[in-house]
């Protein structure tokens, strides 16, 4: 049975629909930033204390650094809590081209997507980032570190988001398999390429020159990707 909205859509209609969804997401994020920004200093201080196990002063090196830091923090904070709405809007964009059973399948996995996102970000915030950052602020030859608040927060958020998005791999893989876009053999055949690309990307988004953060991000992607292959095989056997 074809979906009620299933019809041949022109490119301009697709673009108009994408524009509508993008505008809605942008409005929600913008309103959220306006609401969060006045409270960002207290939130930043709480986040800062959470990623270090000792008292460490925040240092500002340029006149605009504090403003930029507050904007970055507000954006990520709003993105974190509006993530379900963003995923819902993306689903609404794809919905007209899905059959009824495909819609039910995708809607079932939307809550799991956010749960996995929360697990990934929680793991990064509670375990990974504190260990990496505390290793980075060990005094060398008696010299105390003075960290830029913008660079420190920005680096933490990149790891934070890398973990949250990495945990989306099984959800995206299962949806793609269910829709017939890929299969478990395709996932197996692309794993090496994916791992190389992830390592290159991690090298550019993380601050750790020792390579530990890159390896940690790569390891979590490998685990999630291999889980995706197992789940894809299971789904294929049930189909």
Domain ranges of the chain: 11-238
Rounded to the nearest integer, the mean pLDDT of the chain is: 83
pLDDT over 80 at 172, yes or no: yes
Question: Three-class SS of residue 148?
Answer: strand
Give percent of the chain above pLDDT 70: 86
From the number of C-beta atoms within 10 Å of its C-beta (0-12, 13-18, 19+), residue 2 rates as exposed
pLDDT in tens, 23-66: 999 999 999 999 999 999 999 999 888 888 777 788 888 889 99
* Per-residue tokens: 83: 């993530």
**pTM of the entire structure?**
0.79
Please tell me the distance from the alpha carbon of residue 225 to that of residue 239, in angstroms, as a whole number.
21
Contact 33, 71 (CB under 8 A): yes
Which among 104, 105, 71, 109 is positioned nearest to 87, based on CA atoms? 109
* Per-residue tokens: 239: 């189909």
Please tell me the distance from the alpha carbon of residue 125 to that of residue 50, in angstroms, as a whole number.
8
Please tell me the distance from the alpha carbon of residue 77 to that of residue 36, in angstroms, as a whole number.
8
pLDDT band at 69 (very low <50, low <70, confident <90, very high): very high
- Angle, helices 65-94 vs 149-166, to 10°: value is 20
Please tell me the distance from the alpha carbon of residue 43 to that of residue 89, in angstroms, as a whole number.
28
| CA 14 to each of CA 17, 25, 99, 172: distance values in angstroms, whole numbers, following the listed order | 5, 17, 18, 21
pLDDT over 80 at 211, yes or no: no
Contact 109, 171 (CB under 8 A): yes
Please tell me the distance from the alpha carbon of residue 106 to that of residue 84, in angstroms, as a whole number.
13
More confident site: 183 or 146: 183
List phi, psi (to 5°) of 186: -65, -45
* DSSP-assigned beta bridge partners for residue 59: 148
């Amino acid at each position: 049975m074809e979906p009620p909205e299933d019809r041949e859509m022109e490119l301009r209609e697709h673009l108009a629909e994408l524009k509508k969804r993008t505008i809605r997401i942008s409005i929600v994020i913008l309103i959220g930033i306006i609401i969060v920004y006045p409270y960002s200093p207290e939130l930043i201080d709480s986040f800062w204390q959470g990623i270090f196990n000792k008292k460490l002063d925040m240092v500002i090196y340029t006149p605009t650094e504090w403003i930029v830091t507050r904007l970055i923090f507000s954006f990520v904070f709003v993105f974190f809590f509006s993530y379900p709405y963003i995923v819902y809007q993306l689903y609404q964009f794809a919905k007209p081209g899905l059959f009824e059973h495909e819609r039910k399948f995708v809607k079932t996995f939307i809550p799991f997507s956010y749960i996995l996102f929360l697990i990934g970000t929680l793991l990064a915030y509670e375990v990974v980032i504190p260990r990496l950052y505390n290793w980075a602020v060990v005094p060398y030859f008696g010299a105390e570190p003075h960290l830029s608040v913008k660079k420190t927060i920005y680096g933490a958020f990149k790891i934070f988001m890398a973990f949250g998005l990495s945990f989306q791999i099984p959800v995206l893989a299962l949806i793609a398999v269910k829709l017939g876009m890929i299969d478990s053999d395709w996932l197996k055949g692309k794993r090496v390429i994916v791992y190389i690309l992830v390592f290159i990307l991690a090298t550019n988004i993380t601050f750790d020159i020792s390579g530990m953060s890159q390896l940690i991000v790569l390891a979590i992607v490998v685990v999630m990707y291999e889980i995706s292959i197992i789940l894809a095989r299971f789904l294929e056997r049930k189909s």
